[in-house]
Amino acid sequence: MKEEINVKGMTCKSCVEKIENELSLLEGVEDVKVDLTEDKVIVDYEGDLEKIKEKINDLGYSTDGKKKTILTGLMYGIIPHIGCIAFIIGSILGVTFLMQFFKPLLMKWYFFHVLIAISLLFATISSGIYLRKNGLLSFKGMKKKWKYLTGMYGSTIGINLVLFMFIFPLLANVSAMPTGAVVGLDGGLKLKVKIPCPGHAPLITEELKTIDGVGNVRFSFPNVFDVEYDSSKTTEEEILALEVFETYKATVLEGEISESGTLGSNEVAQEGATCSSCGGTSCSGTSACGCGG
């Protein structure tokens, strides 16, 4: 007698070999064939079918229609972000050298886009290897493993968004928190920095902290930084001369430069500053006016 049994939980060739080997040892079973694509076990037997199903269940699979979770796909989606996860842990623990490691990458305007592209490429390669290894590298195989693939690509994109839109911005303030009481902070500066996404905020805060005299730095979503500093040790001009502001332009929203209308060494302008030549207002974040003055 030949019977087809629907089996859930089979994922790879090792599952096929395991089921075929174990069922072939049962009394009355003459032939066993596993169809991984269709999630079926075709058995030619004489005797009790329930004993065969019971054996399949004992092996860790299901004959009652319940399917296993997609944790495998989620895990593969997390793998490309091991470096970012290590950076997060290190930032929380105060391991600031990790920011120096990531600095060359974060100084690239398209780093966020490149990371997503690399992550998707890694997910595609991993998925292809997984499907091919298990004889499912086909449209039918992908259809069978749609939950796995959804978990893979969904977690890859989701983790990128969570890292760059939530976790990294939070780390900007965690890493910027002073370790003790800070005295002598009589200067204040509010900057709007043109960063490609909030995930670059830790780079800006860490660079600001490299200046002797800068105390507290507070990031506000999506791109505003409040800087408190000791005016006897540093100036707004020195702060605005940071190399990072050559890549990510800064606009002074509040501060002495904003009030006086003068510019720092990197030509950061007050947003809406009055042009000395024509009386008009300059463009946000630049010292130039339409009149050329």
pLDDT digits (tens, 9 = 90+) for 208-224: 988 999 988 999 999 99
The pLDDT tens digits for 7-60 are 888 877 888 889 999 999 888 899 999 988 888 899 998 888 888 988 888 888
> Are 99 and 164 found together in one domain?
yes
Q: Quick check: 130 pLDDT over 80?
A: no
Q: In whole angstroms, give the CA distance from residue 59 to residue 31.
A: 18
In a domain? residue 247: yes
Backbone φ/ψ region at 280: left (φ over 0), alpha (ψ -120 to 50), beta: beta
148 pLDDT band, cuts 50/70/90, is confident
The three-class DSSP label of residue 280 is coil
DSSP 267: -
Structure tokens at 223: 């791109």
The per-residue pLDDT for 38 is 82
Backbone φ/ψ region at 97: left (φ over 0), alpha (ψ -120 to 50), beta: alpha
> Are 88 and 170 found together in one domain?
yes
Percent residues over pLDDT 90 in the chain: 17
In a domain? residue 84: yes
Name the residue range of residue 253's domain: 187-260
In a domain? residue 83: yes
Neighbouring-strand partners of residue 226: 190, 218
Q: In whole angstroms, give the CA distance from residue 264 to residue 96.
A: 28
> Are 156 and 227 found together in one domain?
no
Please give the average per-residue pLDDT across 226-249, as a whole number. 92
Structure tokens at 127: 């998925």
Q: Where among 27, 58, 89 does a domain terminate?
A: 58
Helices (H) and strands (E) in the chain, counts: 13, 7
The per-residue pLDDT for 102 is 67
Residue 211 contacts residue 234 (beta carbons within 8 Å): yes
Residue 214 contacts residue 227 (beta carbons within 8 Å): yes
The per-residue pLDDT for 191 is 94
In a domain? residue 279: no
> Are 28 and 101 found together in one domain?
no
Strands 40-45 and 187-193, sheet pairing: unpaired
Q: In whole angstroms, give the CA distance from residue 71 to residue 147.
A: 10
In a domain? residue 128: yes
> Are 109 and 139 found together in one domain?
yes
> Are 32 and 114 found together in one domain?
no
279 pLDDT band, cuts 50/70/90, is low
Range of lowest pLDDT (37-46, 222-231, 253-262): 253-262
Full-model pTM = 0.55
Q: In whole angstroms, give the CA distance from residue 113 to residue 117.
A: 6
